[in-house]
Structure 1
């Protein structure tokens, strides 16, 4: 992990410039399904299944699979990629009440089972990392590995006010294109549902659930991410049974949206290793 501080390199230098971000669903994600899992609905968009290593992408609070489209498009030539909209997110119907993090983890486990994914790599971003950990801590056998990007909630900012301050700081270093996607999805969710979900997010302990994720993992942050600190990433990597840290140079919180190629390059050795391990 780089030893220099987040501000050592300018964000607009060639090595730190955001990747091109498509403003619509990429053509490579032409496959779509709406899953009815009991009383909950989940939308899934992805590549046409081709029997390759599956990768399942899980968004964070207030967001949807749209947040992962740029990263999915980079992965699509080599992997079967699926991006979910969890219940109450994106265009899925809103449940009567906000689901807790453990409940979202159960829904994610059902998605993997319903889609028939064999040994997927499950990738979470922000609060999606907590959802992934909830799902896999109880069922590590259902996946080949996991990737956590910008995980919440850093113990040094575990109150709603502290998280809001870090989120506000991140807004100023994200590209306009990323902030537009964030605003559009937040408006869909609505402030009341967002706040109730945030309370559940803060109550959930990723540092407790990750110790039960007994499978290979990679924990990633953007170098300039104010939400997931370097110390927090390193702490999670130490707590996990089998995980290592990585950092995207110059990256803010949403590296999967504005630095997808850099993120894919950082994940490539890990994805190759778990793919080989998952093969019969």
Structure 2
């Protein structure tokens, strides 16, 4: 190709082109191989010896090169951050981009900030302690006063809470249903207590009222029965007469193993309790009539022969049976009277605390 050689000779820059010598056919073309520099690849000049470009675009390139060199130095130094000469905290490149070192929000606070947080924490603890001390100052005296004012009541409540009523059916004729709470801490010589009930009630009344548990908690065996035809006790024709009712109570005491009990008799149960009191009064440790029926069936002379300790108990709002019962029962020589203010015929339901207090006060001296 003579034209190629001619062109090569006419254009000296062709020999300076590094790729010309690298092309295989360039060596074979006449004229090209003779071009100075053809067939050899000139070595690249060092970066430091490269001519710096001029112009706005070249200035931008120089700036970019300088940034890249600076970034390379930072990477070589382990991405160490540098602070400005003014003392303000700056971020290294990895911190700015979220690499390696912790972000500024995660860096530990300065010593001044830590001291401030510590001071605030101490102040909060002091305020909390002062508040708790103030609350104890207000509440503790009231609690201690409540414990000192009623020391026995809490003790009785704990003893009563451990006693649970058990139910059963006394064998014999007629069968009798009963509920019983055994004495929690039986005292020496303390009598058993037998509870009868009124016409509208059963033995369940005394359990629900807490009377059985309370009395048992004081060391007494407490038993409540369902009279024939009431509650779970079947009817019995034998109790239609006074003698039959006395025999019924004899049967109950024998089957339940009760000796010299205290007999509690409200309202309708007076039909059972009063005949038994007149005939078997010496077999009772005490008698508590609560406005019972049938008191007018006996004379003052019959009452005077009874030596059984008696508590006549009624509510001041009971204007029916209570005055009549009091008029007749006051002939009993060993009696005293307790009137519950604000209570009606079933005074034990209207004023249970007053009733329990009066009952326990009567039981304690008995032997």
Note whether the superposition's TM-score is higher than 0.5: yes
Matched residue SS, 2:182: coil
- 1:57 corresponds to which of 195, 199, 204: 195
Q: Partners in 2 of 1:95 and 1:136 — Cα distance?
A: 21
Residue 73 of structure 1 is matched in structure 2 by 213
CA distance in 1, matches of 2:300, 2:201: 23
Aligned length: 200
Matching residue of 2:80? none
RMSD value, Cα: 2.7
Pairwise mapping of residues 6-155 of structure 1 onto structure 2 (< 5 A)?
28-37=163-172, 39-49=173-183, 51-52=186-187, 53=190, 54-69=192-207, 70=209, 71-78=211-218, 79-95=220-236, 99-153=240-294
Larger RCO, structures 1/2 (Cα 8 Å, 6+ apart): 1
CA shift digits 1:55-80 (9 cap, x unpaired): 11011235321232313233231122
- Residues 174-213 of structure 1 correspond to what in structure 2 (within 5 A)? 204-205=297-298, 210-213=303-306
- Per-residue deviation, 1:120: 1.4
Q: TM-score, normalised by structure 2?
A: 0.49
Is the radius of gyration larger for structure 1 or structure 2? 2
Cα distance between partner residues in 1 of 2:270 and 2:216: 21
Aligned to 1:216: 309
Instruction: Judge conservation of contact 2:165–2:180 (CA < 8 Å) in 1.
Output: yes
- Aligned partners of 2:177, 2:258: CA distance in 1, in Å? 15
Counterpart secondary structure, 1:215: coil
| C-alpha deviation, 1:212, in angstroms | 4.5
Equivalent pair of 2:196/2:265 in contact (CA under 8 Å): yes
Aligned with 2:345 (options 253, 260, 264): 253
Cα 1:243–1:30 shift into 2, 3 Å:
same
Unpaired segments ≥5 residues, structure 2: 1-160
Q: What is the CA-CA distance between 1:245 and the residue it aligns to?
A: 1.5
Distance in 2 of aligned mates of 1:97 and 1:114: 17
> In the aligned structure 1, how far is the partner of 2:262 from the partner of 2:239?
27
Instruction: Give 3-state SS (helix, strand or coil) of 1:40's partner.
Output: coil
Cα drift, residue 109 of structure 1: 2.3
Gaps (5+ residues) in structure 1? 1-25, 156-203
In structure 2, relative to structure 1, the CA distance for the partners of 1:89 and 1:246 (3 Å cut) is same
TM-superposed deviation, 1:27:
8.2
State the Cα distance separating 1:207 from its structure 2 match.
6.2
Given that 1:67 and 1:257 are in contact with CA atoms closer than 8 Å, whether structure 2 keeps it comes out as: no
In 2, distance between residues paired with 1:28 and 1:209?
40
For 1:124 and 1:206, how far apart are their aligned partners in 2?
A: 19
Taking structure 1 as the reference length, the TM-score comes to 0.63
Q: Give the conservation status (yes or no) of the 8 Å contact 1:138–1:212.
A: no
2:358 to 266, 272, 277: 266
How far, CA to CA, are the matches of 1:128 and 1:206 in structure 2?
Answer: 19
Counterpart for residue 228 of structure 1? 321
